[in-house]
Structure 1
Amino acid sequence: MSAEAASSPAAVDAEIAAAVERLRPELARLARELFDQPEIGFEEHASVARIAALLAAHGVDAEVGAFGLDTALRATAGADAAASGPHFAIIAEYDALPGIGHACGHNVIAAVAVGAFLAAAPLVAGLGGRLSLIGTPAEENGGGKELIIRAGGFDDVDAAGMVHPSSGSGTSSVLGQRTTGVRRVAVTFHGRAAHAAGAPWLGRNALDAVVTAYQSVAQLRQHILPSDRLHGIITDGGAAPNIVPERASALFYVRSAEVGQLRELTDRVVAVLEGAALATGTGAEIDVDPVPRYLPLQTNTALTARWTEAFAARGHEIPAPAAPPQGGPSTDMGNVSRLVPSIHPSLGLGGPDDVFPHNAAFAELTVLPAAVDALVDAAEALAATAVAYTTDPQLRAAAAAEFAASGGPSRWED
């Protein structure tokens, strides 16, 4: 860290900007390589190896396989674990979606996180703080962050942040952004096989149970809050039309913006599944939370305001805070946000406003020049936020007071 950087916030920001700009070709290449070889959750072996190699090229040792997860990653700079200095964690995701690759932009998330970490690490270390890069697998399908929480990966973290891409140019840095929590409910109905034409009266149709359950969940939708969501798919519908299906399965997602409502709505869905079994004379094997539940995101506005300031300084228009969304996606970053003050701002990548994540066209946006420009600016702003947190006692106090007012650290207790 230069002596000038240590002397003024403006100099710190200038040093961060210069560092990230030097990294631009490598960050663009990382985003492209992840795009070219997408890997789904818990299978991100090549992806995490690329991130570790980039860190190693800059003299940073990264632990791949951290927290007991083969594709998790941890790198740390600054004060050691026994020190009492403030500890900020930058979060990376790099898993892709089945069939449509990086249509949620996790290749951009990874590039932003790596750029922010490499730019901020020397400054944080030089000023007595601690900075970690935590690579979290399987955001899409496995709750990697919650698994890391359970392994103690956030026990000594004081605050955390990541940036998630979105479509259009006016969707960046939504102050006060929230997401819904989500629980998965899997069900397998067990019936009795029979010849569908010769002796159907001997059968008990498990597919009828799934269809009854699916339609009943659809009927339940008209009696839930506007912020809630229910959706599902049939994952097994039987073996052949001339055999009464003795086994059929479905998977439902239950979403709500409030933890209490998430519990209640899950109970209502389970009751629907039990009713479908009763109506069809089948048995229901119900598995609630086959993967960790995701909690609603709790954005720390004090930290987000610092991000907004840094991002706006890079020429980006920041929209006014919007009303809480009516429903929406979910992220296991919500679980982290319930443990420590956290930010999860969105990053507009340009392109049409109707190209939204989880569509194959969105994946193509993530490697265009406009997306590279956006991720570079986001890396600078995230690095600036991390440095500010570790060096500004007033910012830490404001973030902590807001977090305490919201109830402080909390976990879902069954």
Structure 2
Amino acid sequence: MEDFIRDKQWAHVITAEIEARNDEISFINKHIHSNPELAYEEHKAHDAFVDVLGKLGFQVTPHAYGVETAFSCEVGTGGRLVSFNAEYDALPGIGHACGHNLIASSSFAAFLGVARALKESQIPGRVRLLGTPAEEGGGGKLKLIEAGAYKDTSASLMVHPGPGHKLSSPIRGVSYVRMLANIKTRIHFTGREAHAAIAPWDGVNALDAVCLSYNAISMLRQHIRPYERIHGVFRSAGDRPNVTPADCTVEYYVRSDTKAHAQALWERVKKCFEGAAVATGCGIRFEPLNSYADVRPSKALCSAYVEAMPKGDVAYAEPADFLAGSTDMGDVCYECPGFHGAFGIMTGEGEANHTKGFARVAGTEDSYGRALECARGMAKVGWKALSDEEFAEGVWREWVGDMKEAEEGR
């Protein structure tokens, strides 16, 4: 009973602080949505966060960890460390079509709530708000990981919006969200130019290699697992019809349920490219891009989040097609126990992530309200990880075991 009363007390402190700081949180949400910025160009979002946090009396590190548009803000001393991730990059041409404004505002709100509880309780522990740029293909968290941003972190948390029309009422969100590992590669074929009419026999056609590899991969898709994905685009495929294309480039993503399985699938895909090069007499060069690991959430953190949210609002597991894809949060889950919950916003049919319709809905007050609801739950989980020794030890043991499974390809 004493534990229950104590938990209720600090839940009230967290909720009250988030409500008291609504003006600042709402400003961040609207500012980011109204000023969409691409990966590593999020200067307005970065500066707004640094300014607002400074005015609230926090010490902020701008341009943190050697990344120009990242920031870090930490409160507390000693004890365990919990971090919240604020994403804020947008997509080319369609703005915040993945709702990163909502991710940023929910993480900001959760940080404020836990920071207030730490200050009033005076217990050992630290909470950190990380500005994590360039999730949309730029691998921002990979740079932060490399620089040590998640070292000695006991739990790292964030929530992500998804298409609400795919959830069955009254469910408004899901806790345990698995996302795919993604190996990204740019492939360069090199041949030899020739006049396509006068001396086509002198040419080595790199576009033929592109087409052969495309067709080989299309056939390979018959023999991959249902959750695996292979997709790509032609980056360059020649300039004029009367010149044999000598330099062609494609870019491909290969996804599977784990890093190990994605690597195994990539080896199969790679043979399609190599075979096409041999068949056409072209040279070939592989350029690795910033690949993402699979999201491996902490089951303990996910269960605690379900308990922290209003009863019946959050399902533990997700519909298979609610929030698919890949994210650099997966790599964070390989560094420390991670939580990447998801919540639905009021989309209509066809308005899933990465569409203009989703971008519009991400800017509504209803979506903002849902993000704050998630922030309250996420903050309570973060506080539990700082204040509950037994819970924190269980989270860590589970993560160590899961990393062993990951090493074995499971």
- Classify 1:409/1:365 alpha carbon distance in 2 versus 1 (closer, same or farther; 3 Å): same
Question: How many residue pairs get matched?
Answer: 401
The Cα shift of 1:120 comes to: 1.3
* Alignment pair present for 1:373 and 2:369: yes
Aligned AA for 1:224? I
- Classify 1:356/1:383 alpha carbon distance in 2 versus 1 (closer, same or farther; 3 Å): same
Please give the residue correspondences for 1:124-273 in structure 2 after superposition, counting only pairs within 5 Å: 124-125=118-119, 126-168=122-164, 170=167, 172-273=172-273
Aligned AA for 1:176? Y
Aligned AA for 1:295? A
* Alignment pair present for 1:64 and 2:62: yes
TM-score of the pair, normalised by structure 2: 0.92
Secondary structure (helix, strand or coil) at the match of 2:232 reads strand
Tell me how large the CA RMSD over aligned residues is: 2.3
CA contact under 8 A between 2:181 and 2:295: conserved in structure 1?
Answer: yes
CA contact under 8 A between 2:258 and 2:406: conserved in structure 1?
Answer: no
- Give the aligned partner of residue 121 of structure 1: 115
Distance 2:22 2:346 in 1: 18
Secondary structure (helix, strand or coil) at the match of 2:244 reads coil
Residue by residue over 1:270-314, the C-alpha shift from the partner in whole angstroms, topping out at 9 and shown as x without a partner, is 111111111212111111x322x211111111111121222225x
CA contact under 8 A between 1:21 and 1:376: conserved in structure 2?
Answer: no
Distance 2:35 2:386 in 1: 35
The Cα shift of 1:6 comes to: 12
Distance 1:407 1:352 in 2: 38
Residue by residue over 1:147-186, the C-alpha shift from the partner in whole angstroms, topping out at 9 and shown as x without a partner, is 1111111112111111111111636442332010001011
* Alignment pair present for 1:96 and 2:90: yes
Distance 1:412 1:235 in 2: 35
CA contact under 8 A between 2:175 and 2:342: conserved in structure 1?
Answer: no
Structure 2, unmatched stretches of 5+, are none
Please give the residue correspondences for 1:355-370 in structure 2 after superposition, counting only pairs within 5 Å: 355-370=351-366
- Give the aligned partner of residue 40 of structure 2: 42
Secondary structure (helix, strand or coil) at the match of 1:56 reads helix
Distance 1:410 1:76 in 2: 30
Secondary structure (helix, strand or coil) at the match of 1:406 reads helix
- Classify 1:112/1:326 alpha carbon distance in 2 versus 1 (closer, same or farther; 3 Å): closer
Secondary structure (helix, strand or coil) at the match of 2:176 reads coil
Distance 1:65 1:410 in 2: 32
CA contact under 8 A between 1:113 and 1:379: conserved in structure 2?
Answer: yes
Q: Percent identity?
A: 33
* Alignment pair present for 1:16 and 2:14: yes
Residue by residue over 1:228-262, the C-alpha shift from the partner in whole angstroms, topping out at 9 and shown as x without a partner, is 11000001111112211111110000100022211
Distance 1:112 1:363 in 2: 17
- Give the aligned partner of residue 348 of structure 2: 352
The Cα shift of 1:12 comes to: 1.4
Distance 1:326 1:96 in 2: 20
- Structure number with higher strand proportion: 2
Distance 2:357 2:159 in 1: 20
Secondary structure (helix, strand or coil) at the match of 1:355 reads coil
Distance 1:153 1:34 in 2: 23
Secondary structure (helix, strand or coil) at the match of 1:175 reads strand
Residue by residue over 1:60-92, the C-alpha shift from the partner in whole angstroms, topping out at 9 and shown as x without a partner, is 12112111111111110000xxx3x01101111
Aligned AA for 1:375? A
> Which residue, 330, 333, 337 being the options, matches 2:333?
337
Secondary structure (helix, strand or coil) at the match of 2:82 reads strand
